[in-house]
Structure 1
Amino acid sequence: TCGSTEAMMAAMMTVTDPGDKVIVFSPFYENYGADAILSGAEPIYVPLYPPEFDFNPDELESAFKQHPKALILCNPSNPCGKVFTYNELKFIADLAEKYDTFVITDEVYEHIVYAPNRHVYFATLPGMWERTISCSSLSKTYSITGWRLGYIIAPPNIIEVAKKVHDFLTVGAAAPLQEAAVTGLRFGDEYYDDLREKYTEKRDLFIKGLNDIGIKHTVPQGAYYVMLDISEFGFESDLEFCDVLARDVGVGAVPGSSFFREPVNNLIRLHFAKKDETLYEALNRLSDIRKKIPKR
């Protein structure tokens, strides 16, 4: 597919019909709600509660009781960095089986997970291969985001339908880039160990800097995003805060409200997939943020 973006869209159009319902955890990567709407489906949002971004089991089962056609699972999560535990995944799997629901997974950060957390492929859970559409991408693992190479893994009967949807969406991803990417697929375990080590160092560097500044923030279990709590500054709009942050501090951030269905305006997202010198410069600029952005 042309990146995991098309993979998710193709998966959604493969298993849903107009009028079907789809469960989406909130916060969520922005495309999920749009994918559901473009497919004619209705999203059912289930909140994940900070700071650990856990779900309420009763709320999740209430969503399943509406008989959705599918659930979308981003693991590790963009934007909050949550890595779902085995027990959480097993709970979701039991509900998916009980209510006969497909699970569409977005696992593009599968190799960027910080100890002691562990990524579990949802399709490996008992009985889940038959109802899981696993979507992923080469973009994050091999740092080739512009190549737009993704894929879907699912049982043959699902793949046959997905291939037809894919054909009408994009026909195919660039063939020369597919050939080139095979080099990465042949890397040994040491590559993935090194990748995890590098991102762990960047996470620890950035988290320590934020701790030194004294800004409340999340600690990601996976992926490479940190969410800052800007409550102390008294802004009603996180979008306005991000504008002021860029203008007066020189640091770019994404308003957290763009990821939440709920009225959350006190979080902004930063990411640390940058050179160390860039991270140090960002931390230097943030060091006197309280002088540059007075409390309202």
Structure 2
Amino acid sequence: MKLLRFGPRGHEKPGLLDDQGIIRDLSAHINDLAGDHLSRDQLAGLAELDPASLPAVDASERLGPCVGHVGKFICIGLNYSDHAAETGAEVPAEPVLFNKWTSAICGPNDDVIIPRGSKKTDWEVELGVVIGTEARYVDESEAMNHVAGFCVINDVSEREFQLERCGNWDKGKGCDTFGPMGPWLVTPDEISNPHELAMWLEVDGKRYQNGSTNTMVYQVPFLISYLSRFMSLQPGDVISTGTPPGVGMGQKPQVYLQPGQRMRLGIEGLGEQSQNVIAEPGA
């Protein structure tokens, strides 16, 4: 299934995309695509519904982030061998963990705002993994049983805030609108191998990232098992698993986002996003 959320910001309703590309309203069956509604049993119940029996949604409706009420937004740094090489960093001996604040989450086609004082706002197309059932001290062999689905994430990053100022990476990762998520939450039955997916990102029609999840250093089952040693993963938590090469910081010379530009990105089988880049109002 391709599940989604639609409607005004903060008032999104759950839906699904049928085989004809029509959005269908699920709000008579669940109140949101969040929390316990992401369990395998709950998703199996939704899969039994006849999409044609569900109300159609106007195609002009805004798409919201494909998961509601996210508790933790966990990211993995330097997790693609070719991206680590372009930044001059060594592949880490263990996964590098950082957070994006949940206030960064926005819809897949919402505007991305360059924060005040930013000079180095960058892009990163990433595979998102959404947790469906609690995972705590999970064996790698059982990890995928805890996955509700996959989605596209743009890990927008302010490199000066992230790397050149005191503290950790988080301050450059969690600015408002720095976490476009969606368009869909795609259930695992539709993705035969999450480690063989083409992924790409363009700015103003120029393709900068053109990679594949097959260069991921630490794969999804390992990441879930690893994270579950340090925290319990709860339904609706999101893991953003790293980016392939082609980020602005890796260009020679470096290239960063400017107001008026447009990003477009996607992952095979998971859909596409598109964001206009705007300045912080009043900046």
Greater per-residue helix proportion: 1
**Superposition TM-score, scaled by structure 1 size:** 0.27
Greater per-residue strand proportion: 2
The higher relative CO (CA closer than 8 Å, separation ≥ 6) is in 2
